[in-house]
Amino acid sequence: MTTPVRWFAAGVLGALAVARLAAGPWEPLFNGKDLTGWKEVNGTAPYTVADGMIVSTTIAGSPNSFLATEKTYGDFIFECEVKQDIGPSNSGIMFRGLSTPDYMNGRVHAYQMELESAERAWAGGIYDEARRGWMYPGDLNPAGQKAYRYGEWNHVRIEAIGSTLRTWINGVPIAHLIDTMTPAGFIALQVHSISREDAAGRRISWRNLRIQTTDLTPAPASGIFIRSFVPNTLADAERAAGWRMLWDGQTSRGWRSAKGTEFPTTGWSIADGALTVLGLKGETKGGDIVTTEEFSAFELQLELQVTEGANSGIKYFVSPDEKGAPVGLEFQLIDDERHPDAKAGVDGNRTTASLYDLIPRGKLPSGAAIKPEAGKWQHARIVVTPAGHVEHWLNGIKVVEFERGSADFAARVARSKYAKIPGFAQAAKSPILLQDHGDVVRFRSIKVRTLH
């Protein structure tokens, strides 16, 4: 039997040891002899027991296959070792999993810790199987993308405590998610569907599966990005990381018209947890709104919903042009498929998440909930460091980065619609602006933290 890999880095080992000492006893989930306590759900990929391991094998033509625990679990800490070999494959660990007759004919759904050998290196990320798609793609934590080792034994850990869902691979923190949709369910080992016969027979092996369910203490903060799907709330871990709400979800406090000192009396609504541009025209249009606070080096994140055919934007480092209108760097928000301006500009530099009219959005990887869709909530993130490095993120993927004030940036401005605006985007600090372009767009969960 292969000797287990040495999975803990020294710092992480100490942190997780503290959590273990405070938690209840470990319970084995696999007896090493047979599949007592487990059941196969969906799919036809085989699961067998050999040499103290659960061995699963890909099979062509089958939908995703799962070996699920007969028990369900709410709050827990789960650990096991996994190895993928005999060719690359896609797998995962479902947790708080569900399979009910009233949902897609019993299809397994809920959270999945991704296990893969693909170049994108998203192993350890969290995917919402058969529901919302990617919740925490691996790109959100670049430091964790080298943790998984194909062809070797890897130690994996999942913490599901209340609304907090976290993953580790070989002692390296990978994902940190806040979500309340599914409080309990089974744990399941996945074999992903394949269509090609030459991909059949690839193997995923599992051993040392165990779980804690009592007296749970979460591991200390790891410092990675925290993605929350609970609207307009701030988790303790986010607060400890320096985040604060930039909109309280209920009032106009902290925001005003870009043209005056008060919040617009028309054109915007605050209802159902959303700050909404109503899409009015002419004199009834509310106009752009800005924060009453100014920002220089910051990280901003929010959720947004662009309706069909709509156009809007998030602007920063704004200053008035010759007509007094606020102009600045813009994180473009637009219906890429239906609004004509998305196809204008150069090389797609007016599509969603582009630096409007300056830098096109980079290529988005495939995967559910990655490509922006009109009518669905999207996650936007803007990072501006004290040194002037700027990043745009869309649904967990970095799609734009540049150095404000660099020669390349200056050249792009000179070729753009902003070429004749003196000092364009050179303000040391400014409010953050949400644009009223005359279309219905919704915002929520607006958060910010200062970068030093």
pLDDT category at 9 given cuts 50, 70, 90 is very low
Q: What is the mean pLDDT of the chain?
A: 93
Which of 3-17, 172-186, 400-414, 423-437 is predicted with the least confidence, judged by mean pLDDT? Answer: 3-17
Is pLDDT at 382 greater than 90 in this prediction? yes
Both tokens assigned to 274: 């959303």
Give the chain's end-to-end CA distance (angstroms, integer).
Answer: 50
Residues 314 and 103: their CA atoms lie apart, in Å, by: 37
The pair phi, psi for residue 237, each rounded to 5°, is: -65, -35
Report the pLDDT value the prediction gives residue 198, as an integer from 0 to 100: 82
Comparing 366 with 210, which gets the higher pLDDT? 210
pLDDT digits (tens, 9 = 90+) for 115-131: 998 889 999 999 999 99
Residues 200 and 204: their CA atoms lie apart, in Å, by: 12
What is the rounded average pLDDT of the residues 257-266?
A: 96
Is pLDDT at 19 greater than 90 in this prediction? no
Is pLDDT at 14 greater than 90 in this prediction? no
pLDDT digits (tens, 9 = 90+) for 407-421: 999 999 999 999 999
Residue corresponding to tokens 């990043």? 391
Question: How would you class 28 by CB atoms within 10 Å of its CB: exposed for 0-12, middle for 13-18, buried for 19 or more?
Answer: exposed
Domains defined for the chain, CATH in brackets: 10-212 (2.60.120.560), 232-450 (2.60.120.560)
Is pLDDT at 93 greater than 80 in this prediction? yes
pLDDT category at 325 given cuts 50, 70, 90 is confident
Report the pLDDT value the prediction gives residue 337, as an integer from 0 to 100: 96
Report the pLDDT value the prediction gives residue 24, as an integer from 0 to 100: 84
Residues 156 and 67: their CA atoms lie apart, in Å, by: 17
Q: Are 114 and 136 in contact (CB under 8 A)?
A: no
pLDDT digits (tens, 9 = 90+) for 288-324: 999 999 999 999 999 999 999 999 999 999 998 877 7
Identity of residue 398: K
Would you put residue 419 in left (φ > 0), alpha (ψ -120 to 50) or beta? alpha
Report the pLDDT value the prediction gives residue 13, as an integer from 0 to 100: 43
pLDDT digits (tens, 9 = 90+) for 146-165: 999 999 999 999 999 999 99
Tally Cβ neighbours within 10 Å of residue 218.
15
Question: How would you class 383 by CB atoms within 10 Å of its CB: exposed for 0-12, middle for 13-18, buried for 19 or more?
Answer: middle
Report the pLDDT value the prediction gives residue 370, as an integer from 0 to 100: 97
Is pLDDT at 331 greater than 90 in this prediction? yes
pLDDT category at 3 given cuts 50, 70, 90 is very low
What is the rounded average pLDDT of the residues 334-355?
A: 96
Is pLDDT at 231 greater than 90 in this prediction? yes
Report the pLDDT value the prediction gives residue 138, as an integer from 0 to 100: 96
Q: Are 119 and 135 in contact (CB under 8 A)?
A: no
